[in-house]
Amino acid sequence: MAKIELENVWKRFGRVEAVVDLTLDIPDGSFIALLGPSGCGKTTTMNMLSGLLQPTSGEIRFNGEVVNDLHPGKRNVGFVFQNYAIFTHMSAFDNIAFGLRVVRKQPAETVEREVERVAELLDISHLLEQRAADLSVNDMQKVAIGRSMITNPGIFLLDEPFSNLDAAFRAYMRAEMKKLQRELRQTMIYVTHDQVEAMAMADHIAIMDLGKLQQYGTPDEVYNSPANRFVAHFVGSTTMNFLPAELGATDGSLELRLPIPEARPIVLEDGSAKLLDEKGERGHTLGIRPEHLELLDPANERADARGTVLLVEPLGARNIVHLRAGEIDFRVVVPPTIRPRVGDALGIELERKYVHVFDDMTGKALR
């Protein structure tokens, strides 16, 4: 186990800044996700942690010791890759045993005992004698995880290890990996571009874009209190609605006016009027997640706006209703029992406590 600290870490490749002034504090025994789109710097960060790359500047510390120049083999780090990287000509047993047998030269009885322990944890005891080439992709990835796990590394780095697996097994492995982490209490860092994986597995999520850290927080924090518009857009399996809004004040409350015919002003009575002091002359955007909108009869006086149904996406456990109000499109998540027809006129109500306000110039969340 290990506490990890990255302080003002930069990584440049010529003129390209792959990681920009990254500072992170990762507690001992925690499960952290590095989340972001391709090219955001998450894999570069992982490669610096493993020792495959050295930072251009800044410090990386394991348990308080600077490891910038420490050889990868001396960092006590386990690494699982996307492409599982196992020896296909060897048995599953020999693959898992490799680190103890060849690298650490442990006696045969120790190797056999530890392989059986790891195989039982991963539910692959029945596959140990099979040749790796004959295993399914799902089982190959389990063997790859077992091979890294058996050396009991203080830090476990996982670089999108489930992206090649089928959807059902991917969901199963998410739960299994989280249970393993809690049992082993290893510090795990998981690289992914899939926000569902990050939200389901991680204690904390570091969201990156263009080499920069956008937000670091718990799944609840990054979902319910996004630091900026990028995070608000990237996190959420149905994308947040973003609506142009004009800010004003009424009796000490913040008022947001939407450019929709006959729309009702969105009045926030929680002290948000102080945002008017910060806004200057810049534009603003109102953000609200699709599950925080309610569909109403168009005649209902609670309706903040009225629109017409464009499309309904039935997804089993929920439906996503697409509406257009004026020139603005909304997405609304509703139970499967609610399925309006295309062309229906409906009212839309916004839950006030879930309204976000973003500065159009900086993208930062003001509320």
Residue-by-residue pLDDT tens, the chain, 367 positions: 689 999 999 999 999 999 999 999 999 999 999 999 999 999 999 999 999 999 999 999 999 999 999 999 899 898 887 777 788 889 999 999 988 888 788 888 998 999 999 899 888 999 999 998 999 888 888 898 888 888 888 898 998 888 877 888 888 888 888 888 888 888 999 999 999 999 999 999 999 999 999 999 999 999 999 999 999 999 998 999 999 999 888 777 889 999 999 999 998 887 777 777 655 556 899 999 999 999 999 999 999 999 999 999 999 999 999 999 999 999 999 999 999 999 999 999 999 999 999 999 999 998 8
The first and second tokens of residue 201, run together, are 């597995």
Q: Which of 234, 258, 280 is the last residue of a domain?
A: 234
The domain total for the chain is 2
The first and second tokens of residue 332, run together, are 């609304």
Domain that holds residue 131: 4-234
Amino acid (1-letter code) at residue 62? F
Q: Are 84 and 143 in contact (CB under 8 A)?
A: yes
**CATH code, domain carrying 338:** 2.40.50.140
φ, ψ of residue 59 to 5 degrees: the values are -125, 140
Q: How far apart are CA 246 and CA 50, in angstroms?
A: 48
Q: Which of 234, 252, 277 is the last residue of a domain?
A: 234
Amino acid (1-letter code) at residue 213? L
Residues 249 and 203 reside in one and the same domain = no
Residues 206 and 248 reside in one and the same domain = no
Which has the closest alpha carbon to 213: 227, 196, 199, 197? Answer: 227
113 found inside a domain? yes
Q: Is 211 exposed, middle or buried (0-12, 13-18, 19+ CB in 10 A)?
A: buried
Q: Which of 234, 263, 293 is the last residue of a domain?
A: 234
Residues 317 and 191 reside in one and the same domain = no
121 found inside a domain? yes
Residues 209 and 313 reside in one and the same domain = no
Where are the extended beta strands (E) located within 251-361?
253-257, 266-268, 284-288, 293-296, 305-314, 319-325, 328-334, 345-350, 356-359
